[in-house]
Amino acid sequence: MPAAERVPLRSVTVWLLLQSLLLLASCLPSAAAFPKGCYPSEEEGLKTFRCSNARLTEVPRDIPNDTNKLFLDSNRIPFLPRDAFRDLPLLLELDLSHNAIASVESGAFRGLAEHLHSLDLSSNRLVSVSKDAFSNLKAKVNLSNNPWLCDCRLQELIRTVDLAAGSSGGIVCHSSAQEEHIGKAFLQVIADTDFCNVYKKTTDIAMLVTMFGWFAMVISYLVYYVRQNQEDARRHLEYLKSLPSKQRRSEESSTISTVV
């Protein structure tokens, strides 16, 4: 074949190869859409998205919405906002362990109630979380190795969630109103102490003390008012006695009428 005919053929071949590569790239998910250190995979037939040790400071966006297992462990995420996972309706497992999570907003797990069966929040910085944050969640939850404040709020939370097997012993009192509870497993403490009942009694006593204080103030004011009026009346009568008899009788009648 003449050289003049081979050059166009080579150009056509290169052009077709480039077109094929562009078509293939358009059919594949773009890795550039994922945060650095994150990648999708398939494990045991489940679509997995891993972002372990990716230095994340927030829950990443653009997670494939058909993800079944999501690993966000060993990052720097400080809190979970409302609707953080609302676009992941097929999520079965969520690992948020070894982060810096100190706050979980109500509704953070909204949309996961039907399918999620495993939630790992161990080794974070959780001190106190409202039970509403886990409302309707059926997943097994791991809350171990957090600096918990042992109080009524934690007691209500523990009664709301379904704890993962073997994790309850790791829920330890880091702080408490009663010093003897510090360092003890929370489930061991609430076996003997009802934090919510103690709180209710304290509140009732405070209300009684407040009501008694107001009642005492009202009584004191009434006593002062009566005594002040009696003193004014006594002084007026003494003044009347010092007046001439006719004027005194007239003033006395006026005073009596006023008093009546």
* pLDDT of 72 above 50: yes
pLDDT value at 65 more than 80: yes
Residue 34 — very low, low, confident or very high, per pLDDT cuts 50/70/90? Answer: confident
- Across residues 35-51, what is the average pLDDT? 94
pLDDT class of 258 with cuts at 50, 70, 90: very low
Whether 217 has a pLDDT exceeding 80, the answer reads no
Mean pLDDT confidence for 216-237: 65
Q: Give per-residue pLDDT as tens, 239-255.
A: 656 656 555 555 555 55
CB burial readout 35-65, b (16+ within 10 A) else e = eeebeeeeeeeebbbbbeebebeebbeebbe
pLDDT tens sequence across 189-198: 999 899 998 6
What per-residue confidence (pLDDT) applies to 142?
A: 98
Kindly report the pTM of this predicted structure. 0.66
Strand order across the beta sheet in which 140-142 lies: 39-43, 46-50, 69-71, 93-95, 118-120, 140-142, 162-163
Is residue 23's pLDDT more than 90? no
For residue 35, the model assigns a pLDDT of 85
Helix (H) or strand (E) holding 120: strand 118-120
Query: φ, ψ for residue 5 (rounded to 5)?
Result: -85, -30
The domain spans of the chain are 33-192, 194-234
CATH number of 33-192: 3.80.10.10
Residue 21 dihedral angles phi and psi, to the nearest 5°: -65, -40
